[in-house]
């Protein structure tokens, strides 16, 4: 799997700038090698939900290089869903001929009281997040204003496609409703990706405030091994099994296979070519959690090694990481 391609623009709200790349101009060459149906299928495959499929097809037909928007609130260390899953999705979007704009939402984070509302800390976390990319209940006024600003970002960035998680579905739909109100014909298309769960039973999403629930992008090998070893992974049960979700949404898209190493007495080594094959073995008991966990840990560690190397070898990145680790974490 390649790192983030050149046709990706990363910027913050407080220092928004327009950048260009020859790679963006050359996107049409890659598009020519793919049919319209192939481009549609590649983009649709990113999303758990698409609003609306016919609009997506029409966009791809009429606009050679659509603009896709994604964003992050700097609120602490980056977990693997923000890092690796996003890299996988961005690569797919660029391959389908899109230009991707990633918004580091520092002002949003301040309004939402991330890092205690300290903009300097928030921006430090934002710079840390950019380093990652280089390597690979009471309703307050701020919370009411926040989705309005996020909608504004969609239009400010001239986004044709909003590629965010299912947890951002409501604000993306708000942007479409605004288009209806102002009688704007071309509404942003929503591609909402699946949200990876935390490692604990019943944990619907990872939590930055609970380090054991998620793998962070610069976690060392021992930390990854321990978190996966302790993860909820009931035998024979696929539904709600976080280890299998990691394999489905991270390992298979990255490596296209899943390799299990085990003793002959336990069934011997096996390479799974797709998720259906793995699920069949897991549900039957032919594949046990004790087989899955070491294989998953090995794959994740292999993916994360270049990020670890970057933070170990780059002095600026190392300082940023050590600074961010000292901050109080907010979700």
- Fold (CATH) for 211-326: Tyrosyl-Transfer RNA Synthetase (1.10.240)
Range picked from 55-69, 79-93, 147-161 for highest mean pLDDT: 55-69
Q: Considering the chain, what percentage of its residues have pLDDT values greater than 70?
A: 84
Say whether pLDDT at 183 is over 70: yes
Percent of the chain past pLDDT 90, that is, above it, reads 35
Contact (Cβ atoms closer than 8 angstroms) between residue 52 and residue 189: yes
Mean pLDDT of 259-273: 93
State pTM to two decimals. Answer: 0.78
The two three-digit tokens of residue 17, written as one number: 């700038």
What was the pLDDT predicted at 34?
83
What gap in Å lies between CA 124 and CA 74, rounded to an integer? 8
Residue with tokens 């598009």: 31
Lowest mean pLDDT among 24-38, 43-57, 222-236: 24-38
For all residues of the chain together, what is the average pLDDT? Answer: 82
DSSP string for 30-42: HHHTS-HHHHHHH
Mean pLDDT score, 196-212: 83
Q: Which helix (H) or strand (E) holds 8?
A: strand 8-12
Q: For residue range 2-17, what is the model confidence (pLDDT) as tens digits?
A: 554 444 555 545 554 4
Q: What pLDDT sits at residue 31?
A: 57
Quick one: pLDDT at residue 30? 55
How many helices (H) and strands (E) the chain has is answered by 16, 8
Top-ranked range on mean pLDDT: pick from 19-33, 70-84, 122-136, 210-224: 210-224
- In the predicted model, what is the mean pLDDT of residues 114-142? 73
Cα separations in angstroms, 109 against 13, 138, 205, 304? 10, 17, 19, 26
Domain boundaries of the chain, sorted by first residue: 8-193, 211-326
Residue in the structure block whose two tokens are 């629930």: 213
pLDDT in the model for residue 329: 64
b/e 24-35 (16+ beta carbons within 10 angstroms → b): beebeebbeebe
**φ and ψ at residue 99, rounded to 5 degrees:** -100, 130
Q: In 3D, which of 234, 219, 206, 225 has the Cα closest to residue 297?
A: 225
CATH H superfamily, domain 8-193: HUPs (3.40.50.620)
């Amino acid at each position: 799997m390649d790192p983030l391609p050149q046709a990706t623009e990363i910027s913050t709200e407080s220092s928004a700038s327009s950048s260009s790349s020859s790679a963006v101009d050359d996107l049409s060459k890659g598009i020519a090698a793919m049919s319209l149906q192939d481009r549609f299928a590649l983009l649709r495959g990113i999303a758990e939900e698409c609003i609306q499929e016919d609009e997506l097809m029409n966009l791809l037909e009429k606009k050679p290089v659509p603009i896709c928007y994604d964003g992050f609130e700097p609120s602490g260390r980056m977990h693997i869903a923000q890092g690796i899953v996003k890299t996988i999705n961005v690569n797919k979007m660029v391959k389908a001929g899109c230009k991707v704009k990633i918004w580091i939402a520092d002002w949003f984070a301040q309004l939402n009281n991330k890092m205690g509302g300290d903009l300097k800390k928030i921006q430090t976390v934002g710079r840390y997040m950019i380093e990652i990319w280089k390597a690979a209940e009471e309703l307050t006024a701020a919370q009411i204003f926040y989705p309005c600003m996020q909608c504004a970002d969609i239009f400010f960035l001239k986004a044709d496609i909003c590629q965010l998680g299912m947890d951002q579905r409501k604000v993306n739909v708000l942007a479409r409703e605004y288009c209806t109100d102002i009688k704007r014909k071309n509404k942003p298309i929503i591609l909402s990706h699946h949200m990876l769960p935390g490692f604990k039973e019943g944990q619907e999403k990872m939590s930055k405030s609970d380090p054991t629930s998620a793998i962070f992008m610069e976690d060392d090998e021992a930390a990854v091994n321990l978190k996966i070893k302790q993860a909820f992974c009931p035998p024979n049960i696929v539904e709600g099994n976080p280890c299998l979700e990691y394999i489905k949404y991270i390992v298979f898209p990255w490596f296209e296979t899943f390799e299990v190493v085990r003793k002959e007495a336990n069934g011997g080594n096996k390479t799974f070519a797709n998720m259906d094959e793995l699920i069949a073995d897991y549900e039957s008991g032919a594949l046990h959690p004790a087989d899955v966990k070491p294989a998953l840990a090995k794959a994740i560690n292999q993916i994360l090694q270049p990020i670890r190397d970057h933070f170990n070898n780059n002095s600026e990145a190392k300082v940023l990481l050590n600074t961010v680790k000292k901050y109080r974490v907010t979700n």
